[in-house]
Amino acid sequence: MKSVHLHDSFVMPSTSIPVALADKGTTSPTSSKELHPRVYPEPLPAASRAEHVASPLKPYDGAKHLSQMTAPIKQLVSRKKKRFEQDGFNLDLAYISPRIIAMGYPSQGAESLFRNPATEVRAFLRRYHGRAVKVFNLCAERAYDASLLGLDSTQLERYEIVDHNPCPLFMMPPFCDSLQRWLEQSAEHVVAVHCKAGKGRTGMMIAAWLVWSGACANAAQALECFGLGRTVNGKGVTIPSQRRYVHYVEQLRHVKMDCPLRLPPLLLITGLFVHNLVRSPSRLMLRVSRFFLVLACFVCEPRADAGSFTRLSVLLFDLFVCMPHGRARFFTSPSS
């Protein structure tokens, strides 16, 4: 499985080769409302998938009774997201186009009762797409082996993005380039992109590719395309920062760069002063973290030498290194 880390870099291509979103023999649509399919795909013919599926075509009936019992729970969890309910499947999954799939996380154990069971996702991919599928996992908080979905290591890539957040900008072009190259290899190739719920992070990256490849004219159209294909109310990517990063990709697409886009130099913060805006002194705690790893934690007491700020408390933190894509959280409580 390929995994993209925060220190990777990329070279911006000067041009992009659009890939038709529809089936072979058609052209890329010009309207975002035409980008998502009107019908679900048909199962692969037996001759095309003989080496992958030995049983004849029939409705999927794995854990049928359990699936029927948990269907209301899954529908509640999905909310306004579209579901794939055909041939015995009931998955939190939608075709943004006949070659682009957005879905929820393939889960195991108790979580599979209200999210997509990995066994059912595996059966779905094998039934409809055989070995012509590549999966992109956008979760920073969890990972799995490609064998879980019946894939080999070249058919699964992971891009670590924190939930409810955009990814670093330099991570988006490698994702778009990898997705583009997979689709260009064969007219039968499809991709399945997921995070946990298959909406925010998934929509951000799919919309970024729609802009990057030229399938959509701009970021607004790409976001609309995903929203119409993934949800029943057209509200796909709703977090402002994630939507903003799709617009960044639109701007990058028109910029010719002959050198790799890299992270800026690390900054060493030698001191940090925080002016307390409340009259009563309070204790302040600073927690510095990268993803879910806490790097440092400081508890600071109000200083007496506040200078001219007679009614304000000035807090001084110890030295700490600002890690790439790090986060600082502040907590305050009345001092004893």
Catalytic residue numbers, as ranges: 195
> What is each CA distance from 79 to 33, 163, 301, in whole angstroms?
21, 18, 46
Here the contacts of 304-310 (C-beta below 8 Å, separation 24 or greater) are: 309/275
Side chain identity at residue 55, one-letter code: S
Side chain identity at residue 115, one-letter code: R
3-state DSSP helix/strand/coil % of the chain, to nearest 5: 30, 25, 45
**By the 8 A CB rule, do 192 and 125 touch?**
yes
Which among 123, 119, 155 is positioned nearest to 137, based on CA atoms?
Answer: 155
Instruction: Kindly state the DSSP code that residue 84 receives in the 8-state scheme.
Output: B
The answer for residues whose C-beta is within 8 angstroms of residue 8's C-beta and 6 or more apart is 170, 171, 174
Per-residue tokens: 40: 């679900």
The answer for residues whose C-beta is within 8 angstroms of residue 275's C-beta and 6 or more apart is 309, 312, 313, 314
Cα dihedral 306, 307, 312, 316 sign: negative
Sheet holding 327-334, edge to edge: 293-300, 282-290, 327-334
**By the 8 A CB rule, do 197 and 116 touch?**
no
